[in-house]
């Protein structure tokens, strides 16, 4: 009788453990994440698409919980929060991670579409350096075919008209702004409207997508000069390295494969979006921003001055070995 009772207890215990383990196995893995700017902005559309791709690929076993943006963790603190494990993922850009790694400033300089970056080993380089500098894993490029526009309240008919003007830009581009004769100013993205309205700045560089959503057409007059850093792919959804290493190979593939599978689609979409009538440069012009065209000679000289200064900034801040490797990968002559 005792043996039978002991056997029953063991059987019931085993069944209980099986049920507990089965329930644990069925529970999805949830990754907390934040976006760079308000998550309802058109620029953040692909983080929601990516979330859907991952969750569909995993059949609901891997969930990306997008908590919000700067109201959750200020954009300037996100890379540090990620590195320390306060958040699992961030959907950010190169310039925003440049606070922790000089590579962030270099990501706009490859001059390649993302599939070529992958083929030539640029992605592997990104992952190596970002792991070392930021304790993070670079998942892949979600925002491609980008460029910057320069909008001002100064009717600059040539580069010389920008001399001495205060231009808000990202930290990575301060040397470029100086090189073209203007004065770089640091203003947070959410304060651009007020700074333009109060004439604290004379202009700013920014991607055109979402321009009218932020209402910048209300406080700006002109889009001047050429598109800058056209075709760049500086985006970097990142995941904390410790979290990445805690994932199974299958979970890791659920995060990386959707970007690879949709790479050309992402590129084509952003090319359309940046030049489009609804949210891109077309929307800027429709809203009343006046386009000031420069001569081809001025455009080329301005872009070269801008790019050369950025390369100089990158070389100054990256260690020589990293800079030489990056230059070789992207075919840049030093």
Per-residue pLDDT of 302-324, as tens digits, reads: 999 999 999 999 999 999 999 99
Q: Structure tokens of 302?
A: 């301005």
Per-residue pLDDT of 98-110, as tens digits, reads: 999 999 999 999 9
When pLDDT is averaged across residues 132-147 and rounded to a whole number, the result is 94
Q: How far apart are CA 207 and CA 133, in angstroms?
A: 27
Prediction pTM value = 0.86
Lowest mean pLDDT among 97-106, 160-169, 268-277: 268-277
Q: Is domain 146-231+282-330 classified as CATH 3.40.190.170?
A: yes
Q: How far apart are CA 145 and CA 252, in angstroms?
A: 26
Q: Which CATH number fits domain 28-143+233-272: 3.20.20.70, 3.40.190.170, 1.10.3720.10, 3.40.50.720?
A: 3.40.190.170
> DSSP of 41-110, one letter per residue?
SGGGHHHHHHHHHHHHHTTTSEEEEEEESTTTS-GGGHHHHHHHTSSSEEEEEHHHHTTT-THHHHGGG-
Return residue ranges of the chain for CATH 3.40.190.170.
28-143+233-272, 146-231+282-330
Q: How far apart are CA 175 and CA 177, in angstroms?
A: 5
């Amino acid at each position: 009788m005792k043996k039978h009772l002991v056997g029953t207890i063991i059987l019931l215990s085993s069944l209980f453990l099986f049920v507990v383990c089965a329930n644990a196995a069925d529970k999805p893995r949830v990754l907390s994440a934040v976006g760079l700017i308000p998550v309802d902005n058109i620029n953040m559309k692909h983080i929601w698409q990516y979330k859907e791709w991952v969750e569909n690929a995993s059949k609901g076993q891997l969930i990306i919980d997008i908590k919000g943006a700067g109201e959750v963790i200020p954009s300037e603190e996100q890379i540090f929060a990620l590195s320390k494990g306060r958040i699992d993922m961030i959907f950010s850009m190169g310039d925003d991670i440049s606070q922790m790694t000089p590579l962030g400033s270099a990501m706009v300089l490859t001059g390649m579409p993302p599939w070529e970056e992958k083929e030539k080993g640029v992605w592997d380089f990104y992952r190596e350096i970002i792991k070392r500098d930021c304790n993070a894993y670079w998942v892949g490029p979600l925002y491609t075919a980008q460029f910057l526009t320069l909008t001002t309240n100064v009717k600059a008919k040539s580069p010389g008209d920008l001399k001495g003007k205060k231009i808000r830009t990202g930290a990575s581009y301060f040397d470029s702004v100086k090189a073209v004769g203007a004065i770089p100013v640091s203003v947070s993205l959410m304060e651009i409207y007020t700074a333009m309205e109060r004439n604290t700045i004379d202009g700013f560089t920014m991607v055109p997508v979402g321009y009218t959503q932020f209402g910048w057409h209300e406080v700006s007059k002109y889009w001047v000069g050429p598109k800058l850093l056209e075709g760049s792919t500086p985006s970097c959804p990142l995941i904390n390295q410790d979290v990445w290493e805690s994932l199974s190979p299958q979970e890791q593939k659920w995060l990386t494969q959707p970007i690879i599978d949709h790479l050309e689609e992402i590129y084509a979409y952003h090319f359309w979006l940046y030049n489009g009538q609804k949210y891109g440069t077309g929307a800027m012009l429709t809203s009343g921003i006046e386009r000031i065209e420069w001569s081809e000679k001025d455009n080329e000289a301005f872009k070269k001055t801008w790019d050369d200064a950025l390369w100089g900034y990158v070389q100054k801040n990256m260690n020589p070995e990293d800079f030489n490797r990056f230059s070789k990968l992207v075919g840049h002559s030093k």
